Chains A and B, each alone.
Chain A
């Protein structure tokens, strides 16, 4: 397998050519928050509005036909990309957050009884925690958390012991947005299924970076966002097995999700439309399709390989700095690194980096319980993608060192 040509890839992303305050070159290392967009994605969104804009499914005119075709071909492209059995298993949402809320309320509310358990991990993003907190309150179910080991890997022994017939739902992240840990979800899904539980995988951090196949994983639900995989903001996906979608009640009601409406009752449309009330984000779907085309042309395996090399190099550079503590040392990890530097608050770290044109994140990264679990109030984080290179890792390591020297010298 030949390596990714980063230099050529960078030319596809117009934003990477801009300069920042003080004429600095942009070093974008906040990819776990959102990713930059290649020209082809921007063009797909523009092309939709410029040439095809109309409302979908109901129009009997050419533009409406074209818009419908754009939306449905994007759905088919997503289904193919994630290995879904059919496009009907792909529900478009605003993003992973809405996908998880949809699953929790449309599936969870009917599936849980008081005393049932919802199993999560300590490393969930708030978006895969709060919907279940709400659901537990509403149904009387109990939340249980698979603990993390010191190195940031999931405690699989504890997980095995926590499984029982009481567990009805396992909802877990495929990859931690703080620790970088890639969880053994295939193994977890099989174990949870043996215990009789359904499984939702939060793939927001994984699917953009390596091949994820829902048939291979055998997950019941999978949620992800377009904007973290080169696509536009405001489009995301909930994959669910057809048999579950058929059984689930609608999440929101209104236009375009119905088969027939009378004043006092209604018959819902078939899946997936039953879960897509209101006018859909067709431009977002067009952009997502273009993003998938781009990622597959680059090669998911090559992207993963490239990021593995980058993260190894970044860890090596950062580990050489005195006073640094890297949080998350799991052997199987993606290209996200969180750290704490002695005597330097992460806000100040991010401000110093910003001064050099380097975009990193500081704070609790929407995973407050996790950051607290490892003994911190806030951490700094750098996260990489296919367009990042070793020079950018060097720039990061240099600014971390410079900031540390500044504060240590006080």
Chain B
């Protein structure tokens, strides 16, 4: 898989100007997560109103892959129900791990991260925020 696919324009756009980005204080954070291989650290705040994700915001520092993944994720799950979001989480993680191949339509912009599966160390980068979202939803539904 071409290296160029990993640094596609849409990824770089989200990296340069992440959506739904910060600030999230430690107290506000629904969850914190980090990538143990590099020390990258994210705080994610998720709010539900009724049965919908009414607000989602993230903060922290990461590489182009983890930051753009998180930015696109927040856009994608905003307004969705927790169960819809969970379906997206498993779809996305399956895609980057190479265990499933969802259609481009169901993923939108996120489909550009498909090439991550060819760079094993970057799978963690792309999946970090999705794992965090999963934990946040567990916490909010507890």
Contacts and interface: CB of A to CB of B under 8 A. Distances in A.
Contacts of A364: 38-39
B38 A363 contact: yes
B12 interface: yes
Interface on chain A toward B: helix, strand, loop, or mixed SS? helix
Contacts of B66: 347
Interface stretch (B22-30, B45-53, B57-65): B57-65
A377 B16 contact: no
A346 interface: yes
Contacts of B67: 345
Contact of A347 (B3, B12, B16, B125): B125
Interface in A340-383: 345-348, 351, 355, 362-364, 368, 371-372, 377-378
B122 interface: yes
Contacts of A346: 38, 63
A410 interface: yes
Nearest to B34: A377
Interface string B98-123: 00000000000000000000010010
Contacts of A371: 39
Interface string B62-88: 111111000000000000000000000
B39 A345 contact: no
A345 B37 contact: no
A377 B61 contact: yes
A399 B71 CA distance: 27
B12 A410 contact: yes
Which interface class (under 10, 10 to 19, 20 to 34, 35 or more) fits B? Answer: 20 to 34
B38 A410 contact: no
A147 B66 CA distance: 33
A406 B9 CA distance: 12
B3 A355 contact: yes
Given A351-B6, A410-B16, A377 B119 contact: no
Nearest to A22: B3
A371 B12 CA distance: 26
Most buried by A among B15, B63, B64: B63
Contacts of A351: 3, 6, 119, 122
Nearest to A409: B12
A345 B41 contact: no
Contact of A345 (B6, B12, B63): B63
A347 B41 contact: no
Contact of A378 (B12, B39, B122): B39
Nearest to A21: B3
B91 to A, nearest CB: 24
A347 B122 contact: yes
Contacts of A363: 37-39
Nearest to A345: B63
Nearest to A347: B63
A235 B97 CA distance: 34
Nearest to A343: B16
Given A347-B65, A348-B63, A351-B119, A377 B12 contact: no
Given A345-B64, A347-B65, A348-B63, A362 B38 contact: yes
B40 interface: yes
Contacts of B119: 351
Contacts of A347: 38, 40, 63-66, 122, 125
A378 B63 CA distance: 10
Contacts of A378: 38-40
Contacts of B63: 345-348
Most buried by B among A351, A371, A406: A351
Given A347-B65, A410-B12, A368 B122 contact: no
B39 A377 contact: yes
A395 to B, nearest CB: 16
Interface in A195-249: none
Contact of B40 (A372, A377, A406, A407): A377
A362 B40 CA distance: 11
B27 to A, nearest CB: 21
B15 A410 contact: yes
A368 B39 contact: yes
Given A355-B3, A410-B15, A410-B16, A348 B39 contact: no
A371 B119 CA distance: 25
Most buried by A among B16, B39, B40, B62: B39
A126 B122 CA distance: 23
Nearest to B124: A347
A65 B120 CA distance: 45
Given A345-B61, A345-B64, A410-B16, 10 more contacts: A346-B38, A347-B122, A348-B64, A351-B3, A351-B119, A355-B3, A362-B38, A364-B38, A368-B39, A377-B39
22 contacts: A345-B62, A345-B64, A346-B63, A347-B64, A348-B7, A348-B63, A348-B64, A348-B65, A351-B119, A355-B3, A363-B37, A363-B38, A364-B38, A364-B39, A368-B39, A372-B39, A377-B38, A377-B61, A378-B38, A378-B40, A407-B64, A410-B16
4 nearest A-B pairs in the assembled complex, by CB-CB distance: A347-B63, A345-B63, A363-B38, A364-B39
